[in-house]
A and B are shown apart, each in its own frame.
Chain A
Amino acid sequence: AQRVTQPEKLLSVFKGAPVELKCNYSYSGSPELFWYVQYSRQRLQLLLRHISRESIKGFTADLNKGETSFHLKKPFAQEEDSAMYYCALRHGGGFKTIFGAGTRLFVKA
């Protein structure tokens, strides 16, 4: 069965520190992986997807098929990064997206 696991409910780091939000998935085929973010009082929005291999707001995520992981990283956290982050999976060619439980990132000044 498809599953997305985010082991940390809350991650607290100091401003300027590196941050890594973990995501592991379970899927037998070729998934599409995404990170969505929800800032306070805003709606859920796409942050990045693995296919594009881009850096958005300083965040990157690499798909590791061997470890079935798609961790989100940023070398220097900023206070404005504080938000709820969801890892999501859509199986290749499919239309349903499933979400992990989410990790709340809190960046302290």
Chain B
Amino acid sequence: SAVISQKPSRDICQRGTSLTIQCQVDSQVTMMFWYRQQPGQSLTLIATANQGSEATYESGFVIDKFPISRPNLTFSTLTVSNMSPEDSSIYLCSARGVDNSYEQYFGPGTRLTVT
């Protein structure tokens, strides 16, 4: 199994600013993902964080708005840039382990409020 931690757990930010969310996994994982969960809605995949190369973004999400880094097998960051109130959401880090590749593990989430 893999235990995922995220920092910060929550934040309140002003519009126009940027926030970087950190994701740390306690073991090596094959794939890392970032999801967004807007109030009352399901999880939407933002991108797959690739180690040592650019992230793979889903339709509707772009690198300029959500730059992602993954410098090694256990760590990734997601930045929410030039925030607006529409970016208020829970951001979830997720990973698939090398042992049980079918299961995805999730972090506790980062609750972001943009005022």
Binding site for B on A (CB under 8 A): 32, 34, 43-46, 49, 51, 86, 95-102
Which B residues from 65 to 82 make CB contacts under 8 A with A? none
Partner of B106, one of A45, A51, A100: A45
Q: Which residue of B lies closest to A6 (CB)?
A: B42
What are 26 A-to-B residue pairs whose CB atoms are below 8 Å? A32-B102, A34-B102, A43-B4, A43-B106, A43-B107, A43-B108, A44-B43, A44-B92, A45-B105, A45-B106, A46-B103, A49-B102, A49-B103, A86-B43, A95-B48, A95-B96, A96-B33, A96-B48, A97-B45, A98-B45, A99-B42, A99-B43, A100-B42, A101-B41, A101-B42, A102-B42
Q: Which of A32, A97, A102 has the most CB of B within 10 A?
A: A97
Asked whether, in the complex, the Cβ of A86 is within 8 Å of the Cβ of B106, the reply is no
Cα distance, A99 to B102, chains bound together (Å): 15
Interface residues of B (CB under 8 A from A): 4, 31, 33, 41-43, 45, 48, 92, 96, 102-109
- Besides A46-B103, A100-B42, A101-B41, 4 new A-B residue pairs in contact (Cβ under 8 A), listed by A number: A49-B103, A98-B45, A99-B42, A99-B43
Cα distance, A51 to B101, chains bound together (Å): 13
Contact residues in A for B42 (Cβ distance below 8 Å): 86, 99-102
Contact A46 B43 (CB under 8 A): no
Residues from chain B with a CB closer than 8 A to the CB of A51 are 102
Give the shortest distance, in Å, between B99 (CB) and chain A (any CB).
13
Which residue on A lies nearest to B107, using beta carbons?
A: A43
Q: Are B45 and A95 in contact (CB under 8 A)?
A: no
Could you tell me the distance between the alpha carbons of A61 and B107 in the complex, rounded to whole angstroms?
Answer: 25
- Residue numbers in A under 8 Å from B31 (CB-CB): 95
- Measured between beta carbons, the chain A residues less than 8 angstroms from B106 are 43-45
Tell me which residues across on chain A come within 8 A of B45, comparing CB atoms: 96-98
For the complex, give the distance between the alpha carbons of A67 and B105 in Å: 29
Tell me which residues across on chain A come within 8 A of B103, comparing CB atoms. 46, 49
Chain B residues within an 8 Å CB radius of A34: 102
